[in-house]
Amino acid sequence: MRTAPTILHLDMDAFYASAEQAAKPSLRGKAVVVGGLGPRGVVATASYEARKFGVHSAMPMGQARRLAPNAAYLVPRFGLYREISEQVMALLRELSPLVEPLSLDEAFVDLEAGGVADDAASARVVGERLRVDIKTVTGLTGSVGLAASKMLAKIASEEAKPDGLRLIVPGTERDLLGPMSVRTLPGVGPATGDHLRRGGITTVEEIAGAGEDELVRLVGKSHGSALYAMALARDERPVVAERDTKSVSVEDTYDVDIHDRVRVRGEVARLADRCVERLRAAGHSGRTIVLKVRRFDFSTLTRSETLRGPTDDAGVVREAAARLLESVDTTGGVRLLGVGVTGLADYTQEDLFAQARALAEGSEQGEGEAVGEAAQETAQAVEESSVDEVPLAARRWVAGHDVRHAAYGHGWVQGSGLGRVTVRFETPVSPPGRVRTFRVDDAELVPAEPLPLVEPTEEGLAGPGAESAERCPSG
């Protein structure tokens, strides 16, 4: 492991929700929840204000509404999030050729490989400058962790949240990790944590004290050996540049083993959607779909299926993952599920509108895959906002998405129903705007593209709080 804290981990703060707050002045400082709004939708991201009520990502949307009934509930705008992500990743690539994106809002950077830092002092300067640059360019905040390894850099960024920087000095890792919960270590979810607790192990220091043999006995050879190494702060994984990525995957460990086969299918569908989101953020498509299942007894099974051509279509990945699940016995319960894509390529055989139509058709067929509803609604909204020929009465007004009115200018949908759509007219650089209601077939109201969160001024770049009455005629 290196001797200087030159691995940087950046994690944007409550990314989707923060982007929505920056875009919508009336929501700043208020609880915002982003995700699928249907009966079986799930939370993608909650703002820090919403988290105070207990709302968190992956929570069923119905439960979130009960905890925070007065929050703003919005459908994701992945097009906007990708644009912001590209701006952030561009800033990271100015620091080093070795940037490893983990998702739209998270990445590792090897500062040493970029020649911008070789000790703690220079690394801190780079990290602080990066935070300022991100705020200037995007209007959003990110938290930075600096350490001598990827594991510790990620732990540091988590401790720095929100909008902070934490540097772990090499040589202090064991003292830092010792009193922390076992859940701090990567790969230790609720189920593994409970298993270790039943063995009398609750802290990282106790993992190190138990010894590798005992950990292997408790959680299996591969997992046990990895946990022991991490508890000793050993992590030699290099930062891998995006172009060298061999696969993209996501997985979840569950608080309680899942026995309900219907829920298992739903979780696999949700993971497939998240995997595709990450795949697209990296600019890739892939040929081989991989399903990972860790059962109640810690046995881990993987199944894979290779497609005829590369894809980044969420519907295709969901269907392949569902087929793979049919070959796995989950009778005794499931503690971890994962979906991945390998055989990556930089192109896809499907175009955007074909993907959107396929997703929309899949949602209408009601095949029980509504866990990925947020992605389906977003894809459909993208298509509808791009096609002028859609009949006025057939337009879907999606909560949180952008619109423009001939008389009132740019705004966003607060809600719709009973033939009416309610719009708040404001922009990222205006004061909070007024609310007006229209018929859903009002010819003067049309879908619109998101506006930039910041805009150039004579002095440089203005933040999202700058006023611009000219762009919000409604006041």
The whole-number pLDDT of residue 257 equals: 86
Spell out where 49-140 has E strands.
72-74, 99-103, 106-110
Identify the CA nearest to 177 among candidates 218, 144, 206, 216.
206
The whole-number pLDDT of residue 241 equals: 84
Which amino acid would we find at residue 131?
Answer: R
For the beta sheet containing 106-110, the strands, ordered from the edge strand earlier in sequence to the opposite edge, are 99-103, 106-110, 7-12, 142-147, 165-167
CATH class of this structure's domain 1-168: alpha beta
Distance of alpha carbon 145 from alpha carbon 168, whole angstroms: 8
Query: Is residue 373 within a helix (H) or strand (E), and if so which, with residue range?
Result: helix 373-386
In which residue are the tokens 């439960």 written?
63
- As beta bridge partners, residue 295 has 334
The whole-number pLDDT of residue 34 equals: 94
Domain locations in the chain as residue ranges: 1-168, 175-231, 245-370, 392-471
Distance of alpha carbon 240 from alpha carbon 108, whole angstroms: 9
Supply 16's token pair: 């989707």
Distance of alpha carbon 364 from alpha carbon 358, whole angstroms: 10
The whole-number pLDDT of residue 37 equals: 83
- Of the options 3.40.1190.20, 1.10.10.10, 1.10.150.20, 1.10.340.30, the CATH number for the domain spanning 175-231: 1.10.150.20
Tell me if 387 sits within 8 A of 25, measured CB to CB: no
Check 106, 319, 369, 384 and give the catalytic one: 106
pLDDT tens digits, one per residue of 359-393: 333 333 332 233 333 444 444 333 333 333 344 54
Whether residue 236 lies in the annotated active site = no
The whole-number pLDDT of residue 377 equals: 40
Which 8-state DSSP code applies to residue 345? E
The whole-number pLDDT of residue 345 equals: 74
Tell me if 435 sits within 8 A of 424, measured CB to CB: yes
pLDDT in single tens digits along all 475 residues of the chain: 789 999 999 999 999 999 999 999 999 999 999 988 877 778 989 999 999 999 998 888 999 999 999 999 999 998 899 899 999 999 999 999 999 988 889 999 999 999 999 999 999 999 999 999 999 999 999 999 999 999 999 999 999 999 999 999 999 999 999 999 998 888 787 778 888 998 899 999 999 999 999 988 888 887 788 889 999 999 888 998 855 567 888 988 887 889 999 999 999 999 999 999 888 877 788 889 999 999 888 788 899 998 877 888 888 999 999 999 998 989 889 989 999 998 887 554 443 333 333 333 333 333 223 333 344 444 433 333 333 334 454 467 999 999 999 999 999 999 998 999 999 999 999 999 999 999 999 999 999 999 999 875 444 444 444 433 333 433 3
For the chain, how big is the Rg over CA atoms in Å?
A: 23
Tell me if 11 sits within 8 A of 143, measured CB to CB: yes
Q: Tell me: domain 245-370, CATH 3.20.20.150, correct?
A: no
Supply 21's token pair: 């707050």
Same fold, 1-168 and 245-370: no
Supply 433's token pair: 């705007």
Identify the CA nearest to 252 among candidates 192, 320, 299, 311.
192
Which 8-state DSSP code applies to residue 26? G
Tell me if 31 sits within 8 A of 71, measured CB to CB: yes
Tell me if 255 sits within 8 A of 333, measured CB to CB: no
